[in-house]
Amino acid sequence: MDKAIPWVEEKTGLTLSESQRDAIRLVVNSKVTIITGGPGVGKTTLVNSLLKILRAKQVQVLLCAPTGRASKRLTESTGLEAKTVHRLLEFDPKVFAFKRNEDWPLESDLLVIDESSMMDVVLMNQLLRAIPDGAGVLIVGDVDQLPSVGPGAVLADLIDSNRIPTVRLTEIFRQAQTSQIIVNAHKINQGKLPERTTNGKTSDFYYIAAETPEEIFDKLIQVVTERIPQKSVFIRSVTSRC
């Protein structure tokens, strides 16, 4: 690791934080690891650095995510092919089952599961059955996101078990601090009130006060049917003039 971390920093042109360096050491020395943290804390940078190090050592890696959109983002951020869990396990609609299982496991040295907060108990069970005994597993996701639509809160339960080495990234990096959504998401997780947007200041976060359920409903309808469309029309108009 003393050689690998400076090497990957040189390759990527990025300087890893101390928490990211500690995370790399933990993942490389663990069979199963969890990386969690809110938006803007460098999960993607950390995963990319890990993949560069491991692939340089000829480690065969598979990437997956629960949804098509998440797998596409993972492909774009890593430059490697990522599949949905169903596609990775080769779901067969004729028999309504996965072809990949303990009898015909995946061919991989490391499986990376992104957006794991969306994984339910049933799907995670099917995926873990298909991982070969010799492979490692890296589970990545934001434990503070909404739990999966299906049964169970897999990521939260795995972390709470205290049986799996877990890295929780908390430092918001400079480029993410320009987003009030990211800043306020972390404030809310810390039990603090979000920062409100001052008049005349553009932001990606807006605070709309309401007192009753009826008032919340009315304002929500107004935002969706009037304010957002008007904002979109204004942006398109400005863009066309430019």
For the stretch 89-128, pLDDT in tens is 999 988 889 999 999 999 999 999 999 999 999 999 999 9
Average pLDDT over residues 60-88: 95
* Range scoring the smallest mean pLDDT among 56-70, 75-89, 186-200: 186-200
Q: For residue 176, what pLDDT is reported?
A: 54
- Give CA–CA dist 93/231, Å, rounded: 43
Structure tokens belonging to residue 68: 């098509």
pLDDT at 217 over 70: yes
- Give CA–CA dist 165/100, Å, rounded: 27
Average pLDDT over residues 153-180: 83
Average pLDDT over residues 153-178: 84
Confidence (pTM): 0.79
